[in-house]
Structure formats: C-alpha cells, structure tokens
Amino acid sequence: GAVVSQHPSRVICKSGTSVKIECRSLDFQATTMFWYRQFPKKSLMLMATSNEGSKATYEQGVEKDKFLINHASLTLSTLTVTSAHPEDSSFYICSATLAGGALDYSYEQYFGPGTRLTVT
C-alpha cells in the first residue's frame, strides 16, 4: 500500500513552454503533498508544501509564479513549470502523507518515482 505515482516519468520540452507534472496517491488519501527538486549528485531540495484545497507554501527562493502547484483533491497534486528554461532541467519528486489515522507522530512520507525534466 501507500503508492505514489508521477506522470510523466520523463519529459523534454522547448525553452519557453510550460510543463505539467502530476503526482497521485494511488491507494490512500493525502492531505499534504510535497514537491522536491534534485540536481545530479545533489540532495533533494524542498520546493513547496501542498495542502488539499489551499494554496501551496513555497520555500524561500522558489518562485511561486514559475512553479504553479495545484492540489485539487486528496489524491492529486500538480506542478506546472511555466516558461521553462534550460536551468529548470532537473529531477522533480513528489511525496505524500497519509490523511488522518492514529499515527500522527509518524514521520513517514511516501515518495513518487520522480520526473526527469529536460528543457532544450
């Protein structure tokens, strides 16, 4: 259980275009989803926290108008990279946490397989 999927797994786009990445929790409801970016041989960097039905909270230095996040349902969050440029090329990973339950102290998050974005 607790599977998170991402689509697409890899995408190549031209500079100036927009790309949408989907993150889905397949067998559970997720009140909170997180978006990360990872450059080669580097650690994951948190971009934003997404709560169902409300605006995302962005980390310092992450442009909210460039990285649009929508969390319209308990099983789906989307990240849209607007007007993509080559420097946006990276590995984007989402994670989700279980809604409700008794284990509120549990720090376990479930990660998606990631999306490789290449901007040419």
Task: Name the minimum Å distance from CB 42 to other proteins.
Answer: 8
The footprint of other proteins on residues 45-104 (CB under 8 A) is: 45-46, 49, 91, 93-95, 97-98, 103-104
Determine the straight-line distance between the first and last CA of the chain, rounded to whole angstroms: 37
Place of tokens 């580097």: 42
Cβ distance to other proteins smaller for residue 14 or 41: 41
User: Is residue 29 within the footprint of other proteins (CB under 8 A)?
Assistant: no
Please provide the DSSP assignment of 41-67 as one string. TS--EEEEEEETTS--EEPTT--TTTE
Q: Is 7 in the site for other proteins (CB under 8 A)?
A: no
39 within 8 A of 88, measured Cβ to Cβ: no
Interface residues toward other proteins, by CB under 8 A: 4, 6, 31-32, 34, 36, 43-46, 49, 91, 93-95, 97-98, 103-114, 116
